[in-house]
C-alpha cells in the first residue's frame, strides 16, 4: 500500500453527472489488480474529512482511471478538479481476485457497477468466453460500450425506461437468458442487484457467483471495522480487507 499525492491528467464528464478522471500514478498503476480499489482524498484540508473508496475502471502503464457519479458533496468537489491539480490516493487496497482461465463467464453490471467490471473484463477477456449484461435507468447513463466492444465481449443491455435495448431490469434478462454452461458470474452495482443475483436459482450447481460490495469506509485498511459484512459462519468480514469482491455463497446480504 502507498499513500501518494498525484496529478490529475484529465477529469471530464462522459455522461450526465458521470465523470472519468485519469490520475498519474505510475507505481500504483503497476501494482493494482482486478478487484482492488483506492481511497481518495479530495482536498488537503478536513472537509470532507474522510477519504472515499473508488473502484478502478482502467489502467495504463503510468496512470489510473476512476469513473464516478456526482451524488453528494465529495463527488461534487471532485468534479470541479482540473487538469494538473493534485489529489491524494491510498492503495492498492482490498483482496485481488483469482482470475479463472478457459471458462464461460458472465458479467452483470448495474449502473456504475460497469466500472470495476470493465477493469476485470480486460484481464479475463484474454483467455475466457465473456458475456456482459448491463442495466441502467436510461440510455444517457450508458458508458463503456465501445470499450467492451473492442474487447470482443457480447453485450446485452436493458434500460428501465426503454430508451435503449430491452425495457426492464437487467436481472430479468439475466435470469431468463443465462447460459447453463456459465461457470462464473460476476456482479457489480446497487446492493439490490447483488442481493437478487445472490438469491437467484442456478442453472448449474457448478456456477460460482462473485459480487462486488459497496460499503462506507472510514480507513480502507481494516482498522475501523465500519464496513463489516456477515459471513455464513456468523463471523464478520471486512469489505476493505476480505473483499470488496466476495463469493456470494459465503456471505449474508
Residue-by-residue DSSP string for 184-224: EEEEES-HHHHHHHHHSPPS-TT-EEEEE-----SSSSSSS
Give the pLDDT score at 95: 93
Query: What tens digit of pLDDT does each residue of 132-150 get?
Result: 999 999 999 999 999 999 9
Query: What tens digit of pLDDT does each residue of 3-19 get?
Result: 889 999 999 999 999 99
First to last CA, the chain: 29
Give the pLDDT score at 227: 78
Query: What tens digit of pLDDT does each residue of 176-232 get?
Result: 888 888 999 999 999 999 999 999 877 666 789 999 998 777 777 777 778 788 888
Rounded distance between C-alpha atoms, residue 231 and residue 125, angstroms: 30
Query: What tens digit of pLDDT does each residue of 157-177 get?
Result: 999 999 999 999 999 999 888
In this structure, are strands 52-55 and 104-110 parallel, antiparallel, or unpaired? unpaired
Q: What proportion of the chain, given as a percentage, has pLDDT over 70?
A: 95
Beta bridge partners of 20: 12, 67
Q: Does the pLDDT value for residue 50 go beyond 80?
A: no
Q: Does the pLDDT value for residue 1 go beyond 80?
A: no
Predicted TM-score of the model (pTM): 0.93
Distance (Å) of CA 98 to CA 27, 34, 73, 210, 235 = 21, 9, 35, 11, 23
Give the pLDDT score at 205: 66
Amino acid at each position: 500500500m502507498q499513500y501518494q499525492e498525484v496529478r490529475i491528467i484529465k477529469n471530464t464528464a462522459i455522461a450526465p453527472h458521470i465523470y472519468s478522471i485519469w490520475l498519474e500514478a505510475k507505481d500504483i498503476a503497476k501494482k493494482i489488480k482486478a478487484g482492488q480499489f483506492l481511497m481518495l482524498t479530495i482536498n488537503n484540508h478536513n472537509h470532507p474529512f474522510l477519504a472515499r473508496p473508488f473502484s478502478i475502471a482502467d489502467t495504463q502503464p503510468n496512470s489510473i482511471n476512476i469513473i464516478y457519479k456526482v451524488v453528494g458533496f465529495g463527488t461534487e468537489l471532485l468534479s470541479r478538479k482540473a487538469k494538473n491539480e493534485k489529489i491524494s490516493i491510498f492503495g492498492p487496497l482490498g483482496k485481488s481476485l483469482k482470475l479463472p482461465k478457459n471458462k464461460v463467464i458472465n458479467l452483470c453490471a448495474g449502473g456504475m457497477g460497469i466500472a470495476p467490471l470493465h477493469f476485470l473484463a480486460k484481464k479475463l477477456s484474454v483467455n475466457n468466453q465473456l458475456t456482459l449484461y448491463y442495466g441502467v435507468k436510461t440510455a444517457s447513463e450508458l458508458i463503456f460500450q465501445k470499450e467492451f466492444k473492442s474487447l470482443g465481449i457480447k453485450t446485452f443491455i436493458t434500460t428501465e425506461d426503454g430508451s435503449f435495448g430491452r425495457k426492464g431490469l437487467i436481472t430479468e434478462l439475466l435470469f431468463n437468458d443465462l447460459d447453463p454452461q456459465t461457470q462464473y458470474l460476476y456482479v457489480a452495482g446497487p446492493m439490490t442487484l447483488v442481493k437478487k443475483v445472490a438469491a437467484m436459482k442456478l442453472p448449474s450447481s457448478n456456477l460460482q457467483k462473485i459480487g462486488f460490495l459497496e460499503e462506507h469506509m472510514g480507513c480502507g485498511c481494516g482498522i475501523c471495522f465500519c464496513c463489516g459484512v456477515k459471513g455464513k459462519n456468523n463471523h464478520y468480514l471486512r469489505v476493505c480487507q476480505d473483499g470488496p469482491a466476495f463469493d456470494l455463497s459465503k456471505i449474508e446480504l
